[in-house]
A and B are shown apart, each in its own frame.
Chain A
Amino acid sequence: MSDEVTAEILTTHILDLAKSGKRLDGRGMDEYREVKVEFGFAGNADGSALASIGKTKALCGVKLEVGKPFPDTPNAGVLTTNAELIPLSSPLFEPGPPHPRAIEVSRVVDRSIRAAETIDLAKLSITPGEKSWVCYVDVHVLDHSGNIIDTAQLAALGALTHTTVPNKRFGIAESDAPFEVHHFPVECTFVRLGDAIVADPAFDEERAAQGRITVATDEAGNVVAMQKGLIGAFSPDDVKDVAERAFRHGDRMRAVARG
């Protein structure tokens, strides 16, 4: 109960601060926390990246396996993205089957990668109809301090850009080859605090938020995915504004994820 009361007081404080253009951690309304990506963290993965935005951390490991293509896409490989909100990363997360919140993170991250055509699935085909590469992108959120979606997505992009195709392990070719990444989508998330819309929400800002919006952009100037979440609403002009901001932040974050 006391936790609820503290949360309530904090929410009021965050909303009051936002009215005068201020944030709890002293950031500007459109300012991200420090964005970092460290590559090759998980040595047994075919590609991995540990992304952090402020104190929020997510680790992505990519594993490639040889499997069967889906019957309806015999000439293409398979890409599967999954994000786990493991109980280690926050008191909010519990063990058990995935919570709708985790499913949303997985699907929003997956959508940006798929829609941007980051990977050319046709190139993952080995023998049409029989053998293809199956690319598993698994993200573990390790420390939840707000803005899980951007952190998880950045980890996924970082891992994909640093993946090696394990040809030798599966007897496909004599030597391993770099994994081809064609596009570089990055997601940027914003939340509404009263009339203000702030970038990269911290944990307590997310709890105070009156709506969340994520925009994925690619390097060619396209919006490739969006998701509005939480309780709250945005006008079409808000959405256009947030998309502009997502392009600006996205270009900088893309550079970090490409290493």
Chain B
Amino acid sequence: MGNIGAKEVPRLLTPEGLRIDGRRLDELRPLTITAGPLHAADGSAFVEWGMNKVMAAVYGPREVHPRHLQENNKAIVQCRYNMAAFSVDERKRPGLDRRSQEISKVIAEAFESVIFAEEYPRTSIDVYIEVLQANAGTRCAGLVAASVALADAGIPMVDLVPAVAVGKIEGKIALDLKKEEDNFGEADLPMALVPQSGRLVLLQMEGHMTRDELGQALDLGVVGCRRIYEVMKQALRDRYAVKDADGASGSAA
């Protein structure tokens, strides 16, 4: 996929079945989530995931701009997923390209599937995602960051929404592709799970998968999402833990 004219396809798996960064097929890249790093936003989160760095901020519920988008019986969710010009190898022209607009749409729909929007009629919940450093899987990293930011903003939701991409490298289904694996892999399937219902609110796919591989990929993605879910919850606990006088966190009295 997307590698026409490339000089050679590098090996992506060692004879022992390990990946170029030493991971097993079902292993995630290191993930760190910080809840509430931004001051001005109603809610925010910063995600470092492998070599990805993504910041998310949430504003609202607030007045709808432009006004005509307002809905009388519920809040609307607007999302802007944007990649910084310097976030990729070759400078990206600033602003939303078609890819970014599509991703913004599917992420907004994913959140609208879990937010209790009818609680805030005639308002907008605005979700901003800025990719600062990209290394494959940025829509999932952005979604994870935004989900924690929504919780940080106190927006009522069914659940947090962990997300991860599953791919196929050298014929094997693999969790959480990094850039080289994504560029030379055979398929990419980003998904977002609502752990409470076990249902997917974001699902895209591109590449080649047989029926069996699709089944495997979905199952592996669910496992990945559940691991990410734990990191997301911990980030929120860390943010809101009651701290004692010397700043160390302790339990509430």
Q: Which residues of A line the B interface, CB within 8 A?
A: 72-76, 100-101, 103-104, 106-107, 111, 114-115, 121-122, 211, 213, 218, 221-236, 238-240, 243-244, 247
Contacts and interface: CB of A to CB of B under 8 A. Distances in A.
Contact of B200 (A106, A122, A239): A239
A122 B205 CA distance: 24
Given A100-B104, A227-B205, A232-B201, 5 more contacts: A100-B102, A218-B208, A221-B210, A225-B207, A230-B109
A106 to B, nearest CB: 7
A233 B200 contact: yes
B215 to A, nearest CB: 6
A76 B208 CA distance: 21
B1 A228 contact: no
A107 B98 contact: yes
Given A73-B4, A76-B5, A235 B214 contact: no
A100 B201 CA distance: 18
Contacts of B57: none
B105 interface: yes
Interface residues of B, number: 36
Contact of A228 (B104, B202, B210, B222): B202
A215 B225 CA distance: 22
Nearest to A105: B102
Nearest to A216: B205
A231 B113 contact: yes
A226 B105 CA distance: 15
Nearest to A75: B5
B106 interface: yes
Given A213-B203, A225-B205, A107 B210 contact: no
Interface stretch (B28-36, B46-54, B191-199, B235-243): B191-199
A223 B214 contact: yes
B211 to A, nearest CB: 6
Given A74-B5, A104-B102, A234 B203 contact: yes
23 contacts: A73-B4, A100-B105, A103-B102, A103-B105, A106-B98, A107-B99, A111-B206, A114-B1, A121-B4, A122-B5, A218-B208, A223-B205, A223-B214, A224-B206, A226-B203, A228-B106, A229-B106, A229-B109, A231-B112, A232-B113, A233-B200, A235-B197, A235-B198
B219 interface: yes
A232 B106 CA distance: 11
A75 B7 CA distance: 11
A122 B4 contact: yes
B5 A228 contact: no
B174 interface: no
Interface string B108-152: 010011000000000000000000000000000000000000000
B205 to A, nearest CB: 4
Contacts of A226: 189, 203-205
A167 B1 CA distance: 28
B204 to A, nearest CB: 5
B215 A240 contact: yes
A233 B204 contact: no
Residue of A104, A106, A226, A244 with most partner-chain B CB within 10 A: A226
A233 B1 contact: no
Contacts of B209: 222-223
Nearest to B205: A226
B87 interface: no
A234 to B, nearest CB: 5
Contacts of B206: 111, 114-115, 224-225
